[in-house]
A = this chain, B = another copy of it.
Amino acid sequence: MRSFTKYDLKEMERLYKINLINSASGFKSANLIGSISKSGNGNVAIFSSVIHLGSDPALLGFVSRPVSVRRNTYDNIKETGVYTINHIYEDIIEDAHHTSAKYDASISEFTMTDLSEEFKSGCQAPFVKGAPVQMKMKFLEEVKLNLNGTLMIIGEIQELFVDQDILKDDGLINLTEAKVVALNGLDHYTIPQSEKRLPYQRPKISNQLIKET
């Protein structure tokens, strides 16, 4: 095993460190967040930090960098209170990745890529057409992490759209069947293959039995 202490990290070349630490946490979700400004400028941007926070209510969070960095998505969400989360799948990897380029707020990434916007009734923000999972989100709260100024943006699922073919009888959305992407680090796109589903686990022997021996 190669080992890096926190002191090694401190001295490390910047790009090497970013690649290393961004791939250290494991595979990441890969989503396109659609938003729109009050004045009607659309935006779509790639995020790899969307995370499940609760099922009832259905809450998802994502990480936004400190306010000092230009962040069209964040500004739009704060302005309108609504956004969409769309899963990246095999066919749109290049275009999804390109949304990481720093465009001015006046330019929609939809016009600079082959990604198509889709509007659904009752939602101001654009969805990404063709995505096998699309969610209309309502902004609820931002939580500032004092350690580095990062913001956790929390929203509630208002409506969830799922490709019927990948929705299983018990509610699982089988993401492998839609070739949904998982991200490794900043730029390594992967397609997960189904391995197995495992049942709910109970202790092998009762705690009581253990205590008596």
Chain A residues engaging chain B, CB cutoff 8 angstroms: 1-6, 9-10, 12, 15-31, 48-61, 63, 85, 87, 90, 93-94, 97-104, 106-107, 112, 133-135, 140-141, 143, 145-148, 150, 152, 154, 156-164, 167-168, 170-176, 180-182, 184-185, 187-204, 207, 210-211
Contacts and interface: CB of A to CB of B under 8 A. Distances in A.
10 contacts: A3-B161, A16-B170, A21-B55, A26-B175, A53-B63, A103-B207, A104-B210, A141-B146, A187-B198, A189-B196
The dominant DSSP class at the A interface is mixed
Nearest to A140: B147
B52 A28 contact: yes
Contact of A173 (B23, B50, B87, B199): B23
Given A49-B51, A55-B22, A174-B184, A190 B198 contact: no
A28 B29 CA distance: 6
Contacts of A10: 56
Contacts of A1: 134, 161-164
A30 B196 CA distance: 14
